[in-house]
Structure 1
Amino acid sequence: MAERLLRTRRVPRLEVIEAFIEAAHAPSFRIAAERCALSPAAFSRRIQAFRDFAGREVFDRTPRGVLLTDAGRECLAVLEPTYRAMMEAARDLGAMGRPARVTISLSHSLAVAWLIPRLERFRLRAPQIEIAIQTTRSAESIRSGAADLGICATDIDVAGLHAEHLLDIDITPVACPEMADEIRAGRRRLSDHRLLTAVQDPAMWSWWADKVGADGRPLPRAETFDMANALYEAAATGWGVATGMSVTVTPHLQSGRLVSLGLPAARYPGAYRLVAKASRMRSAPVAAFWRWLAEEGRLQRRSLVFACQPPHGAAVASSAAMTASEIR
């Protein structure tokens, strides 16, 4: 039936077929409209145009959502393979004579501390793919198409986008070596120092202390920073003790400008996700970069960032038995 339609009726525009195929795979018309970068009204007009072409209902509204009818499934089976092949051929033609370019959106701190130090590994694997970086802490550039994919914290709204878990966040106190020596030798307590944390969670110190079972007097109110790199730079100059986040603090630990205090680490309830429009995932360069990022995320999750930090200074040995109850 669907094949006969293609032979006997005027073929609809490509964007109408695209809307039908996206609607067939999306959990709702709203999400399908977002994937096509259309308003709900414009998307509905395209679905209606396809229905007029088919001459039958292709979707059925049910309590479980919008589902394909038998006619819709028949149309999808005939049209989708050809549509996918044509789009792939068009992308291949567009890539001829120039390197592929993939744009990723993520926060400045995550770009500097996590992604950029790893990028050379991807360039060795896929030298034909150029990577462009946009630093922002929202998903808007992904939705607008300005970025092909992104890494977003779990407090960012990514509704309508394809998302997969990428990175966990572990929290433990970090400080410059001199301040760490004082605390670990027992000459000063953690609560005697200025506390520093990220502005996204001003209560992170109290959360960490409760999570690791610390008791005693309340910790002082923390000073906040809107970028993790600024937070760690302040701690490295001796301004205070910072909440070290495993995914962003590593360069400062590796350089020795910050050290772990040897106190317990706690798994933060937030995390980072890989995010993209489903339509962008069909691009071979984007898919290749996505797979590499996912591999790097798995490697990061298997590593023990804080457990690997060696004691710093001779004074540390005498404080190795410090427990969570002595933190405050």
Structure 2
Amino acid sequence: MLRKTPPLEAIEAFVSVAHAGGLRAGAVALALSPSGASRRITSLEGFLGVALFDRSGPGLRLTPAGERYLALIEPAVASIGRATTMLGADPDRITLATSHSMATHWVAPRLARLKQEEGIDLDVVPTRDPDILRSGEAQLALWGGVEIADLQAEPIIHVDARPVCAPHLADGRASPAEEAALTDYPLLGVREPHDMWSRWLAGAGLAGEQPIRSFATLGMMYEAAAAGMGVALAVPMLCERPLAAGLLTPCGRALPTGERYRLYRAGRRAARSPAETRLAHWLKREATASRVRFDALSA
């Protein structure tokens, strides 16, 4: 049976020399002699049937084919390295990607309790970039407002939204006395999902396009609302603290938005680990408890 892929040690030598910019430096990085690294690269070129380096000058330079091959295989080589590291890692340590607001205001305050109750050490990366799952840098992601076809998704909680604002706005006005007055106030939103207000207004029967002052994160939006800049849409899990402190007060009904927080994982991954299963169940319990508190605070 013909081999379809070259030996990994030959690929490692090629990548190391390409990154180092020279045969000697690349060989040293792999604890090889220059001649040993050269032999591995030559065998790789023979396997591929193309020259990966231009040897006509005083040093080695990647050929166009070498540049293309390096760009194609680097992600795979990095994934192999991460997989090897993860295999020997603590099975109860999980890396979770989530938004900056979720990481700061909801996940971080619960880390100690998660460790105590489930024995899980959670490393949190504040990002909404799905490539962190595809690359294997994170095992799971907790995101709302996105749907990503090539990732596995498990619903954690559905999101209702309720208008909130400071008891008195910066311009001296009191909070809106009725929903119909909302459109006379500055409306605050976030960049993603960008259409939360349009969906809430349609559900409340307040049709029409309204200008929205957008913020990068929900946390920034709530800070601006508490400072009296306008009316924001409060959602469970992220608005409990300003509501409990009286910094924000409800000024409208809680209505469905069609949004959900979901737990994502790479579609090509095998079945989730026992620790990942425990984390998923724990997140659902915590999110449900947060929604109950949110409903009580915003009633």
Pairing 1:94–2:83 present: no
Q: Count residues in correspondence.
A: 214
3-state SS of 2:88 partner: helix
After superposition, the C-alpha distances for 1:195-218 in whole angstroms (9 at most, x for unaligned) are: 111112444323212202236xx5
Match of 2:211 in 1: 221
- 1:72-111 equivalent positions in 2, closer than 5 A: 94=88, 100-111=92-103
Provide the rounded CA distance (Å) in 2 between the counterparts of 1:155 and 1:93. Answer: 30
Provide the rounded CA distance (Å) in 2 between the counterparts of 1:92 and 1:105. Answer: 16
Match of 2:137 in 1: 146
TM-score after normalising by structure 1:
0.57
What's the offset of the Cα at 1:304?
6.0
Is the 8 Å Cα contact of residues 164 and 231 (structure 2) preserved in structure 1?
A: yes
Match of 1:309 in 2: 298
Q: Which amino acid aligns with 1:305?
A: F
Match of 1:171 in 2: 161
Is the 8 Å Cα contact of residues 139 and 158 (structure 1) preserved in structure 2?
A: no
Is the 8 Å Cα contact of residues 176 and 235 (structure 1) preserved in structure 2?
A: yes
After superposition, the C-alpha distances for 1:85-114 in whole angstroms (9 at most, x for unaligned) are: xxxxx999935xx68421001111122233
Query: Structure 1 unaligned runs (5+)?
Result: 1-89, 311-328
Provide the rounded CA distance (Å) in 2 between the counterparts of 1:154 and 1:242. Answer: 16
Question: CA 1:157/1:294 → structure 2, altered by over 3 Å: closer, same or farther?
Answer: same
Match of 2:240 in 1: 250
What's the offset of the Cα at 1:276?
1.7
Q: 2:257 aligns with which of 265, 268, 287?
A: 268
Q: Which amino acid aligns with 1:251?
A: R
Q: Which amino acid aligns with 1:102?
A: I
What's the offset of the Cα at 1:290?
2.5
3-state SS of 1:287 partner: helix
Provide the rounded CA distance (Å) in 2 between the counterparts of 1:298 and 1:245. Answer: 13
Q: CA RMSD in A?
A: 3.3
Question: CA 1:93/1:213 → structure 2, altered by over 3 Å: closer, same or farther?
Answer: closer
Question: CA 1:113/1:136 → structure 2, altered by over 3 Å: closer, same or farther?
Answer: same
Q: Which amino acid aligns with 2:229?
A: W
Query: Structure 2 unaligned runs (5+)?
Result: 1-83
After superposition, the C-alpha distances for 1:50-93 in whole angstroms (9 at most, x for unaligned) are: xxxxxxxxxxxxxxxxxxxxxxxxxxxxxxxxxxxxxxxx9999
- 1:46-85 equivalent positions in 2, closer than 5 A: none
What's the offset of the Cα at 1:145?
0.6
Match of 1:240 in 2: 230
Is the 8 Å Cα contact of residues 197 and 233 (structure 2) preserved in structure 1?
A: yes
Q: 1:190 aligns with which of 177, 182, 187?
A: 182
Match of 1:135 in 2: 126
Q: Which amino acid aligns with 2:197?
A: W
Question: CA 1:192/1:214 → structure 2, altered by over 3 Å: closer, same or farther?
Answer: closer
Is the 8 Å Cα contact of residues 165 and 274 (structure 1) preserved in structure 2?
A: yes
Provide the rounded CA distance (Å) in 2 between the counterparts of 1:251 and 1:295. Answer: 19
Is the 8 Å Cα contact of residues 145 and 193 (structure 2) preserved in structure 1?
A: no
Is the 8 Å Cα contact of residues 167 and 175 (structure 2) preserved in structure 1?
A: no
Q: 1:207 aligns with which of 199, 211, 229?
A: 199
Runs of 4+ residues deviating >6 angstroms: 90-93
Provide the rounded CA distance (Å) in 2 between the counterparts of 1:132 and 1:165. Answer: 21
Paired-residue identity, %: 30
Is the 8 Å Cα contact of residues 246 and 305 (structure 1) preserved in structure 2?
A: yes
3-state SS of 1:118 partner: helix
After superposition, the C-alpha distances for 1:215-271 in whole angstroms (9 at most, x for unaligned) are: 6xx56411111111111111111111112222322222122211112x111111121
Match of 1:40 in 2: none
Q: Which amino acid aligns with 1:147?
A: A
What's the offset of the Cα at 1:287?
2.8
